[in-house]
Amino acid sequence: MIGAGTAGMTAGIYAARANKKTLILEGKNYGGQIINTPDIENFPALNHISGIEYATNLYNQVKELGVTYKREEVQNITEDRVVTTNKNQYQAKAVIIATGTQNRKLGLEGEDNLVGRGISYCATCDGRFYKGKNVAVIGGGNTAIEDAIYLSDLADKVYLIHRREGFRADQKAIEILKSKDNVEFILNNKPYKLIADNKLTGLEIINNENEITKVDVSGIFIAIGQIPNTEIFKDFIELNESGYIKSKDGVHTNIDKIYVAGDVREKELRQLITAASDGAIAANTAITEIQ
């Protein structure tokens, strides 16, 4: 398994329970992006559990089953399933790609240099540094709404900046956010320029009439979507126009014995429960086809 998020670790559980020699490779922390979620409310029977707690439980379950877990970054994979990492090389009978996604950036000048100095992609990780300060959240989906709710209990003022009029988020969460006295909605605007002097001091935004406004904030939390982690596969694995891996029936790629699971694949709904389902199906399919 390449990737130790919900899909990859679930696949590891099913493979180990089938008594298969199982290896999970992950270049970063286990758990995937769910570790940034303060409160999981939409996974059956796991109501109100933090993302870190969930990921730790899943990791411990994987280890208890005897799965080999290595923190190694996969650098290359061939069509005959030779996997090369920054430390080793492995020959596999089957490979399950579960590399997930990464945060989409604003693309503004100075953005990378300001990460950790006013720019963040994780409210639960960095929100405490902005207690009593003014912050902006960029985005209009569930993550942006959840981040704004979380930050409203820490920051003095939260600006939710969205390029459209409406939101692509859970209506209940939107209503909760609207009830917060220290949250201001700035719609039909998008980030235009970062203002900084060694660290972030403000943000210029531009509306649909090309009018520019300055917002004084100490922190910006970016939640504008995800990009699939498929760069190392693009030369031989079929991807869609957005870079997600195409799968003929949910788990098969265009290469024999190389499967895909989780958020990195082309699909309609990307949630914990669908990632777990993908991992189970991919592992079961691989087990059956390598018999």
State the DSSP code for 181: T
Nearest to 200 by CA among 72, 81, 63, 108: 108
Torsion of CA 208, 213, 214, 218, to 10 degrees: -30
Query: Using CA of residue 85, residue 87, residue 282, residue 10, what is the dihedral sign?
Result: negative
Q: What's the CA gap between 63 and 46, in Å, rounded?
A: 20
In angstroms, how far apart are the furthest CA atoms of the chain? 63
Please provide the size of the chain in residues. Answer: 291
Residues 10/31, Cβ–Cβ less than 8 Å: no
Rounded to a whole number of angstroms, the distance between the first and last alpha carbons of the chain is: 18
Nearest to 1 by CA among 50, 55, 72: 72
Amino acid at 47: N
The residues annotated as belonging to the active site are 122, 125-126
Residues 26/12, Cβ–Cβ less than 8 Å: no
